[in-house]
Amino acid sequence: MKSKYLGNDVLPCYLTKPLLCADDVYSFFTMELSAFFMKGMIVMFLSLFLIFFVGIIGGILFEKIKIPKIIFYLLMGILFGSSLLNIIDPSLEQISDYLRQIALIIILTRSGLALDFKTLIKIGRPAILMCFLPASFEIIGITIFGPLLLNISYLEALLLGCVLGAVSPAIVVPRMLTMIENKQGGDIPKIIMAGASCDDIYVIILFYACLNALRTSKFNFISLLQIPSSILLGILLGLIFGIGLIYLFKLLNTSSAIKVIIMLGVSFLLVWLEAYLKAYISISSLLAIIIMSIVISTRMDDLKEIKGSYNHLWSAFEILLFVLVGTRVKLNLVFSIEGLSILLLILIGLSFRSIGVFLSLIGKKYKLREIIFFIVSYLPKATVQASIGAIALSEGLECGQLVLAASVIAILVTAPLGAILMDLTKRKILTLIKDA
């Protein structure tokens, strides 16, 4: 094609015109941007395939050798992350905060649905005390010794204690359910399971209260007043939405899958409400989600399918959560003098926790071996630590990397240790109960 002005091949419009051709500029940028995003999406999907495929196979192998599969997920994240091989797409790390939030919602909903207040009341004082006393003792121990060992403030140590203070339902609950199904252990597995579920809720509420204080770099009277108001409003919203959903489910008479989708949607709405009203009033959306789940569990008869759906959701998010936590770990901090100090602090916290477990059981005529079983069942840490361990880092807090490192060390040490000790002591406990 010839130009009528130059008599030769047509040159690009930006050479024949005084101004840039808008169409060409637009085409260039749209093509480049689409190619960029397409490439990014392809890499991200490849990373997701790698995470799920390798995670599932590795998890199965680890369970075969009696090691919790979450240990493999965490190690895989460390191996595939930026500290070592760096083969996981960084864009996944950019959305990891949102994925952790969803994982936390699933964890709390499962805990709320699993709570059985009738069992708690029936068993009585030990079950209720196990919900908060062991965690409280561990938090106190870490708050006292944290500043001495890690050179952090008492408020930062309190935050670290709240992260480390929760037991792992992912490791504890399946073992207790097996014992209950086999009619083994009497009330022991029921007490432990109820306590483990409530323990997480209690610790997470305390964690967010401390986090809010650290965000503002103050812990004054006004910030203290926000805690009870946040809790009360969270409970109120949870009751309203819980009762509302029960009536909605009765009205719709729909499938369990639809019910789960609605519950998830309402959970996201509650999180949005907290963020939207943050400047005006403090609301604990997570507590609202827990209360909503508890209301549904107490007022609905057939929860088997709903619980099953949440278990399936958790199976996917569990892999993502632990792998992405692993990718953010700085190995130079874990394998350092500070890492040894963290390990020592974790052991001190567990010692305090064991005292809390012992005090919770006073008044009940449990044998020494049974008390030991209670103590070792409350050792494993994993789920909550993976969910909230990286939040301090995401918030830009000075202690963020330290809290994450402590979470990872706690998981790597206590998860396999607790699982092995539970399996070993369970045989002794069951023998005693059989003989009795």
The partner residues of 2 in beta bridges, in order of sequence, read 9
Mean pLDDT is highest, among 62-76, 113-127, 181-195, 296-310, for: 62-76
Report, as an integer, the average pLDDT of 407-423.
Answer: 91
User: What span, in angstroms and rounded, lies between the C-alpha atoms of 24 and 278?
Assistant: 46
In this structure, the number of other CB atoms found within 10 A of the CB of residue 351 comes to: 12
Helix or strand run (H / E) with residue 404: helix 400-435
Q: Which domains does the chain have, with CATH numbers?
A: 69-82+96-435 (1.20.1530.20)
Question: Tell me, what's the pLDDT at 227?
Answer: 65
Question: Tell me, what's the pLDDT at 224?
Answer: 56
Residue-wise pLDDT tens digits, 199-209: 887 888 888 88
Radius of gyration of the chain (CA): 26
User: What span, in angstroms and rounded, lies between the C-alpha atoms of 126 and 130?
Assistant: 6
Q: What does the chain come to in residues? A: 436
User: Three-state DSSP class for 86?
Assistant: coil
Question: Tell me, what's the pLDDT at 76?
Answer: 92
Band of the pLDDT at 38, cuts 50, 70, 90? very low
User: What span, in angstroms and rounded, lies between the C-alpha atoms of 19 and 414?
Assistant: 67
Mean pLDDT is highest, among 102-111, 142-151, 297-306, for: 142-151
Crossing angle between the packed helical segments 256-276 and 96-114, to the nearest 10 degrees:
120
User: What span, in angstroms and rounded, lies between the C-alpha atoms of 47 and 42?
Assistant: 9
Dihedrals φ, ψ of 276, to 5°? -70, -40
Instruction: Decide: residue 331, CB within 10 A, 0-12 exposed, 13-18 middle, 19+ buried.
Output: middle
User: What span, in angstroms and rounded, lies between the C-alpha atoms of 239 and 260?
Assistant: 18
* Across 195-199, 215-219, 291-295, least confident range: 215-219
pLDDT surpassing 90 at residue 342? yes
| Helices assigned H by DSSP within 115-150 | 117-123, 125-129, 133-150
Higher pLDDT, 363 or 156: 156
User: What span, in angstroms and rounded, lies between the C-alpha atoms of 335 and 340?
Assistant: 8
Query: Which of left, alpha, beta for 433 (phi over 0: left; psi -120 to 50: alpha)?
Result: alpha
| Residue among 120, 124, 109 nearest 288 (CA) | 109
In this structure, the number of other CB atoms found within 10 A of the CB of residue 313 comes to: 18
Averaged pLDDT score across all residues of the chain: 82
Task: Name the pTM for this structure.
Answer: 0.80
Read off the amino acid at residue 242: G
User: What span, in angstroms and rounded, lies between the C-alpha atoms of 202 and 231?
Assistant: 11
User: What span, in angstroms and rounded, lies between the C-alpha atoms of 219 and 313?
Assistant: 37
* Across 93-107, 211-225, 254-268, 273-287, least confident range: 211-225
User: What span, in angstroms and rounded, lies between the C-alpha atoms of 64 and 424?
Assistant: 16
Dihedrals φ, ψ of 123, to 5°? -70, -40
| Residue among 392, 351, 347, 391 nearest 375 (CA) | 351
| Residue among 321, 345, 330 nearest 410 (CA) | 345
Question: Tell me, what's the pLDDT at 221?
Answer: 53
| Residue among 408, 347, 407 nearest 379 (CA) | 347
Higher pLDDT, 416 or 170: 416
Instruction: Decide: residue 200, CB within 10 A, 0-12 exposed, 13-18 middle, 19+ buried.
Output: buried
Tokens coding 193: 């399971």
Residue pair 131/205 in contact (Cβ under 8 Å)? The answer is no
